[in-house]
Amino acid sequence: MELRAMEAPEDSLLVPLLEGGQSPPNHPARRLHTSLATALPAIVRATWQKVAHRLGAEDVVENANVDTHIGLRERCAMFFGKKKEEKEFREIQLNDPDVGDHFINNKVKTSRYTLLTFLPKNLFEQLRKAVNVYFLIVAGLSWWEEVSPYDPLGTTIAIIFIITISAVKDAVEDMKRHKEDMLLNETLMASVMQPDGSFEVKQWQHVRVGDFVKVEDEEAIPADIVLLYSSNPGKNCFIKTTSLDGETNLKSRSVVGGLGVHDPEDVLKLEGLISCEHPNTSLIRFQGKLDVSSDLSTSGSNTESSASTLTATVRPLSITEMLLRGCVLKNTGFVIGVVVYTGQESRIMMNASAPPSKRSHFEKFVNRQLIIVAFFQALITFGSAAGALIWRNNNENAWYLREDENGDSDFVFFVKISITFFILYSYLVSISLIVSLEVGKFIQAYAFIDRDIEMYYEDTDEPTCARTSSLNEDLGLVSYIFSDKTGTLTQNDMRLRHVSVGGLVYGSSDFKIEKAKYSMKTLDIAKAFDKDLAFLLAKRFGDDEEKAAEAAKVEEFFTILSITHEVLVQREEEGSMSYHGSSPDEVALVEASSLLGFRFHERDASTVTMQNTWKDENNSAKYKVLCTLEFSSARKRMSVVVEDSEGNVFLYMKGADAALIPRLQDPDSDVGKRVRSQLDEFSTKGLRTLIVAKRQLGMSEWRDWEARYQETASSLEDREEKMEAMAEEIETSLELVGGTAIEDRLQDGVPEAITGLLEAGINVWMITGDKQETAINIGISTGLLKDPSSLLICNASTGEGAREQLEHLLSRLNEEEMEHPELVIDGGTLSVVLGSASESRFVDLAVVCTSVIVCRASPLQKAAVVSLIKERTCKTCLAVGDGANDVGMIQVGDIGVGLYGREGRQAVNNADFAIGQFRFLNKLLVVHGHYFYGRLAHVIKYAFYKSGCFAYVLFYFQFSCGFSGQALFPSIPAAMYNVLFTFMPIFIVSLVDKDAEPDVILKYPGTYNAPASSLTAVTFWKAEIEAMVHALPVYLVTLLLFTWAGDSNDGNGLDTIGTAAFAALSLAVFVYLAIDVRSWTRLTFSTTAASFLFIFPFLWVYPIFYTDDKGITNDGTAYFLFRDPRFYMNMLLVSSLILWHRLTFRFIRWYWKPNDSLLLTEIEKVEAAKKNN
C-alpha cells in the first residue's frame, strides 16, 4: 500500500493552516483558528488546575504560568519535571503585556512542605536513613504472627515515636520558613506601571517579568530589574546590598546609557528586546544586551511631537545596570526598571541553596560499624536458627515441633525461625541512637555555641553561630587549619602609611593619618604626614624646576588615587561626608588623598569630580569616565579610562605589582627599580603594597578600541573571555607613577589564638594573595613562624625547578632534624606543582611542617590546597576566611568557618560555623570541640552497649528454651527500653558531661585531642564485648534466683523471670553509665534516678491496660515481684558484678595508664583545692 501525505481540497478550511500561510481575516479557517486560540487555553488551564488540585500541586501550576499557546504536552512535561527546550538566551520584549506569561511568577518558596505534601515527603526523608528503614522492616515483620517473638504493637509504637520526633522537629523548622515566605509574598507591596502611565500597587508575588516597577527611597527591590530611569540628576542610584552579600557600604548603579529616558512616562515608549543570560547564582556579574528599535536619545522632550526616530541600536547590559531583589534603594528619590528575573529565578533565591552537604566523622564511623554489627547479627541469627533446627530434629518427643503437626519442611522452618531471630536480635542496634544524636547536636549548637557570650563580638553585634549542627563532633578532631590573612587574621581596616612617587618615599611611621580630621588645615595634615611632601604641594620651592617636576608627579599621583576607584560619597545632613566602598584598600587611599588635599567630591553615571585644595578649594575638576575595567581576584588590577577638561584621554591603573610590572613600558628603569625596592621594604614591615601606573591614549586609538570593546560587550557568547582580551590589549606600555603602602593591623588576640592552636597539635596554614615578604612578616607577628632564620622556602617557576627544590628541602629536613619545621611557598610554584609528579613530594614536605605559608595564591589555589591535604592525609581539615575569594576553600574543607568581615557575608553564607573574630576559633575547637567529641563518643558507645546487653540476654536465653525464638522480656517494656527508660540519662550526659572547666582546658590545650581516642574501632568493640559479658550475669543470676521449677502461679514463670531480668538489666546499664560520667550535676543525677524509678510504676500499671494478641496479660506479676526479696537481691547482685568489673578496669587505667581526660579531671580537683585553701 502506498502511503501519501494528507491532501486537502482547495476550498478546505485546512489549506491555509496546513500550508503555514496566512488566511484572510474573514476566512472560515481564520475564524476557527481565532476561536480555538481563545477557548482552548482556558479549557486547558481549567482542566490543568483541577488535575493539579487533585494531586495537591497548586504551587506547580502557579510556577508553570507559561504562555497560553504552549501545548498540553509541554505543560505535562513541566508538571512531571521536564523542562521545555530553552533558547540560548532569555528574551524579554519591552512593553509587551503578555511577556510575563512565559516565565515563573514572583512568588518565593523556601519551605519544603505543604499540608498535603508533609506526610509523604517527610516520610520519604525519614526513610532515607538506613536505621529507620531497618526498624521499619523489623516492625513490619513483627506483624507476621507466625514468626514474630514480640507483640507487634510495641515495636510499631517505638518506630512511630522515633519518626514522629524527627517529623515534629522538621515541621517546626518548616513553619518558620512558611512565615518568612508569607511575609515576602503577601505583605510586601510593589508599584507596577500601567499602560496609561499610572501605578498599581501589587503584592510582590504578583510582579511579573516585563513589568515596569517603581521603587522609592528606602524601599526594597521586589525582583531583579534592569534600571531604565532614575530621579537622580546623574542618572544613577545607590543601593545597599546587605541582604545579598552582607556589605553595609553603598553601591552605585547606572541607568542603561543612551536611551533618552528623561521622564518616567518615557519608558512606555521604549520598544526593544532584552537578551540576557539564563538565571544563575552570580551576584557580581550579569551579561545581556538591549536591542532598541525606538531610541529616545534624540528626543528633546517627552511630547508626542518630538517622537523618537527608529534607529536600531544595541546597549550592553552588565551588573552596573542591575538592581537585584532584596537590595534597598538609598539616597535616591525613585527609580523605574524592567523586571528580568522573578521569584525562585532571582539571584538572591538562586543563592539561597544550602552549602554542600558534609558528613561528620561519627556519621561515617557509625555507618561502618553498623555494617559490621549487621553482619554479626546475621551470624548469630543463622547460628540460632541452625540450633533451633538441630534441637527440633533431636527432640522428636516435642509434639509441638513435629513436622506432621505444623507441616513445615526443614528449609521452610529454617527460613521462618531465621526471621524470628532477626526480629529478636534487632535490639543490637539502638532505635533511639539517631534521634538522640540529631536532637543532642542541635541543642549543643543552639545552647552552647550560639549563646556563648565569650564568643560574642560586641563591635559588630555578631554572636558565634553554628549554621549546621551535623559537624559538632568534628570540631574536636581538627588536624589542619587553613586560614586567609586579610580580614581573617587582620582587621581589614586599611590605613595609608607610605607612598612612593618617582622613586621618592613619603610618609611617617609616627603619624596615623586616619586620626586627622577635615577640620584641620590641609597643610598641617600634610606636614604631619611628611614635611617634604607638604613642601612640594605648597609649592615653596621657588623656581626650582626639579622640585616643580617632583610636585607635578605627586599631584598626578594623588589625582589618580582620587579618581581610580569605585568608592561612593555619603553626605550627612550637617554637611560632613564619608567614603564607602566594597574594598577597604580603596577607601583608605581615597580618604588619605582627601585629607592630603586631593578630595574626591562626587560621581555620577559618566563623570568623577575631585578638588585639588592646594590650587583652589572652590574649583572642581571633572573627569569624564569613558570606561572602567573592574578589579577581580584573577586580574588583580583596576583600570579607568578618563578624559580631562582639555580633551586628553588617559588610562589610569592601580593593582598588585605582579600584575602591573609585566605591563610597564620600561620595568627596569632606574625609577622602576627604586620603586620596587621600596615596595619590597614596605612588605618586610608587613604592609600591603600597590603600584600606580598610567598611559596616555590618542583619541583615534581610544575610539577604535572603544568601538571594538562595545561590540564585545554586546556579545553574549564568551563575553568575559573576549572582554579580558580587550583589556589586555589596552593595558600595556604603562608608565610607572608610584606605589602605596597600607597597614592592616592584626585582630586582637590572634597571636595568642595561634599559639594555643599550635600547642593543641593543630597544623596551621596561612594562604594569602599578598607578597611573600608581607606574608612572612605577618606570620612572624602572629606567632605562626617561630624561627624565621630556618624557614623552608620554595620558589620556582618551572616544574623541574620545583621538583629539585622540594627534594632539597626534604633532604635538609632529614639532615637538620628540625623540631618545628616551617614552610613558605608561593602561588607560582604551586601552579607547576599541583597536578604534577611533584605533588606527592610537596605533600610529604608540608605535612611534617607545623606551619605553612602560601603566598600569591589565587582563590582556586586556596581550594586546591585544602582539597589536596584533605585527600592525601585523610585528616580533618578546617578552612576559615572572610571574603568571597575564600568560599571555595570553605566549601572544600571538612569544616568551613566564615568571619563576619568587611567584605560581606558570602563566606559566612557558605560556612558551617560563623565567628566574629579569629580568636574565637581557639575556644570553638579547644573547648567546644573537646566537649562535643567526648560527649557524643560516649553516646554512641553507650547506645550500642545497652542495646547489646539487651540482645545478648535474649541470645543466652535461647540455650534454655531450645532456640525456639521465645522472647524473655515482655513486649511493651522491651519496646520502651531504648526509647523511654534508657534514653534520657545518656541524652542529658551528651549535653552537660565534661572532664574539666573551660579555663582549665584552655590552660592545657595539649589535651585537645584527648577525646579522640575515646571512640575508635577498638573502643567501640570493647564496649560491645563488655555488653556480651555483662549480659551473662543478668541472665544467669536471675535464672538461679528464680528457679524455673513450677508454673507461673508459683512466681517462677517466664513473665516473672523476664520482668526481674528486665529490672536487673536496666539498673546494670545505669550503673555502667554512672561509672563513665565525668561530672555529676543535679540534672544528671535527677534524670538518671527518675528514669530508673519510673520503671517500677510502669511495670505495675501497663498490664492493666494491655493484653497481647493471644489474650495474655502480665497483670499481677509486678505485684508479686515487688514483695519478693529475690527481686531486689537480683538487681543488687547483677549490678555489683558489673560494678566490680568496671571499677577494676577503671582503677588499672587510673593508676597505670591515665588518659588526658582523667588527668584534666585530677588537675581541676587539685586547682580547686588550692583555691579553697
Q: Which residues are catalytically annotated? A: 484
User: Which alpha helices (DSSP H) does 255-359 contain, by range?
Assistant: 347-350
The answer to whether 1064 touches 1138, Cβ cutoff 8 Å, is no
The answer to whether 876 touches 838, Cβ cutoff 8 Å, is no
Q: How many CA atoms lie within 13 A of 851 on its CB side?
A: 28
d(CA 317, CA 287): 6
User: Residue 75 class from Cβ within 10 Å (0-12 exposed, 13-18 middle, 19+ buried)?
Assistant: buried
Cell of 42: 482556558
DSSP character string of 925-972: IIIIIHHHHHHHHHHHHHHHHHHHHHHHHHHHHTTTTTT----SS-HH
In the chain, the amino acid numbered 222 is P
Other Cβ atoms less than 10 A from the Cβ of 602: the count is 15
d(CA 14, CA 864): 64
Cell of 249: 557600604
Name residues whose C-beta falls within 8 Å of residue 930's C-beta, 6 or more positions apart in sequence.
476, 1001, 1007, 1008, 1010, 1011
Q: Of the candidates 456, 525, 603, which has an alpha carbon nearest to the alpha carbon of residue 920?
A: 456
Q: Is 617 left (phi over 0), alpha (psi -120 to 50) or beta?
A: alpha
Residue 453: enclosing H or E segment and its boundaries? Answer: none
Cell of 823: 614552610
DSSP state, 980?
A: I
In our burial notation (b when 16+ CB lie closer than 10 A, e otherwise), range 693-723 reads: bbbebeeeebeebbeebeebbbeeeebeebb
d(CA 85, CA 76): 14
Give the β-pairing of 637-643 and 621-629: antiparallel
SS3 content of the chain, % helix, strand, coil (to 5): 50, 15, 30
The answer to whether 369 touches 1020, Cβ cutoff 8 Å, is yes
Name residues whose C-beta falls within 8 Å of residue 298's C-beta, 6 or more positions apart in sequence.
260, 308, 309, 311
Residue 627: enclosing H or E segment and its boundaries? Answer: strand 621-629
Instruction: Assign 637 to helix, strand or coil.
Output: strand
Q: Of the candidates 374, 316, 301, 294, which has an alpha carbon nearest to the alpha carbon of residue 131?
A: 374
Q: What is the CA radius of gyration of the chain?
A: 38
Q: Of the candidates 538, 479, 435, which has an alpha carbon nearest to the alpha carbon of residue 893?
A: 479
Q: Of the candidates 1137, 1008, 1142, which has an alpha carbon nearest to the alpha carbon of residue 1072?
A: 1142
The answer to whether 670 touches 503, Cβ cutoff 8 Å, is yes
Q: Of the candidates 657, 663, 659, which has an alpha carbon nearest to the alpha carbon of residue 682?
A: 657
CA end-to-end span of the chain, whole Å?
Answer: 113
d(CA 538, CA 526): 9
Cell of 427: 535490639
Q: How many CA atoms lie within 13 A of 327 on its CB side?
A: 26
Give the β-pairing of 876-881 and 895-899: parallel
The answer to whether 941 touches 123, Cβ cutoff 8 Å, is no
Which sign, positive or negative, has the C-alpha torsion 359, 362, 365, 369? Answer: negative
Q: Find cell 545552647 and name the residue.
A: 447
